C-alpha cells in the first residue's frame, strides 16, 4: 500500500479480516489513512468496535461486521454487507488466523487441533477469496492473504500451522494463475509471495 500518496484510496473500499487486534487492526487503520472506507471483520465484537473507533478518530469511515471466517454463510453475508454499505469492493486483506495451543510433534497431534488450525488459517482464506474475487473483478482491485515463513520452512511442533500457511501460498498462487490471462484493469492482484506473520 503506498504511503506517499495521502488519499490515494479515496472512494475505494477495503474488506479486512482479523481486525480486532494486531496486523488486521494495523492494516485497517492504514487503509483508512489512505482514504479507503473499511469493513472490519472479526468474531471479537469488542475489539472490532475499538478498531472502528480508532479509524473514525483519525477521520476515516468504517463499519464492523461479525464474521466467523470458517463459515461460508458468514463470509458471504459480510461481503454482502460491504456492498450494501459502500456499493463495491476494491481491496481484500484475508488476515484472520490463529496459532497452535502448544508445540506438538506430528505423530502426537490431535485431529481436533489440526482441524481448528486448518479451518481458520486455510479454509477461511479460500472462502473469502471465493466470494471476494467476483466482486473485485467488477472494477479491479487487489487481494492479499497473510501467510508465514512457517509455510516455507516449516516450524518444529507446528505441523497444522505450517501446512495451513503453506496451503495459503499455494492457494494464492493458484488464484493468480486463474486470472493471469485477464489483462484488463479488472484483473485482481494476488501476490505470489507470502505476507509474513509471526
Residue 4 belongs to a domain? no
Asked if residue 57 is part of any domain, the answer here is yes
Query: Can 9 be counted among the known catalytic residues?
Result: no
Q: Is residue 142 part of a domain?
A: yes
Q: pLDDT tens per residue, the chain (198 residues)? A: 433 445 699 999 999 999 999 999 999 999 999 999 999 999 999 999 999 999 999 999 999 999 999 999 999 999 999 999 999 999 999 999 999 999 999 999 999 999 999 999 999 999 999 999 999 999 899 999 999 999 999 999 999 999 999 999 999 999 999 988 663 444 444 444 444 343
pLDDT at 189: 47
Q: Read off the C-alpha cell for 144.
A: 492479499
The boundaries of the domain holding residue 79 are: 13-189
Phi, psi of 68, deg, nearest 5? -90, 100
Instruction: Give the CATH number of the domain where residue 104 resides.
Output: 3.40.50.720
Q: Is residue 2 part of a domain?
A: no
Q: Following DSSP, what letter does each residue of 110-177 receive, concatenated? A: -HHHHHHHHIIIIIHHHHHHHHHHHHHTTT-EEEEEB--THHHH--TT-HHHHHHHHHHHHHHHHHHH
Q: Let me know if residue 161 belongs to a domain.
A: yes
Amino acid at each position: 500500500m503506498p504511503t506517499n500518496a495521502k488519499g490515494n484510496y479515496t472512494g475505494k473500499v477495503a474488506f479486512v479480516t482479523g481486525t480486532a487486534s494486531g496486523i488486521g487492526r494495523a492494516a485497517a487503520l492504514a487503509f483508512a489513512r489512505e482514504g479507503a472506507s473499511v469493513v472490519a471483520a472479526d468474531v471479537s465484537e469488542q475489539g472490532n468496535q475499538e478498531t472502528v473507533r480508532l479509524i473514525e478518530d483519525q477521520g476515516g469511515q468504517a463499519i464492523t461486521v461479525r464474521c466467523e471466517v470458517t463459515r461460508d454463510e458468514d463470509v458471504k453475508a459480510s461481503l454482502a454487507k460491504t456492498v450494501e454499505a459502500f456499493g463495491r469492493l476494491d481491496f481484500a486483506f484475508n488476515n484472520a488466523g490463529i496459532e497452535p495451543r502448544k508445540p506438538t510433534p506430528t505423530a502426537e497431534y490431535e485431529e481436533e487441533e489440526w482441524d481448528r488450525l486448518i479451518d481458520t488459517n486455510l479454509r477461511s482464506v479460500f472462502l473469502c477469496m471465493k466470494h471476494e474475487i467476483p466482486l473485485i473483478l467488477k472494477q479491479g482491485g487487489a487481494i492479499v492473504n497473510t501467510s508465514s515463513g512457517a509455510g516455507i520452512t516449516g516450524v518444529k511442533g507446528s505441523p497444522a500451522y505450517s501446512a495451513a500457511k503453506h496451503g495459503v501460498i499455494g492457494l494464492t498462487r493458484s488464484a493468480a494463475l486463474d486470472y493471469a490471462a485477464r489483462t484488463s484493469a479488472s484483473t485482481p492482484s494476488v501476490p505470489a509471495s507470502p505476507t509474513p506473520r509471526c
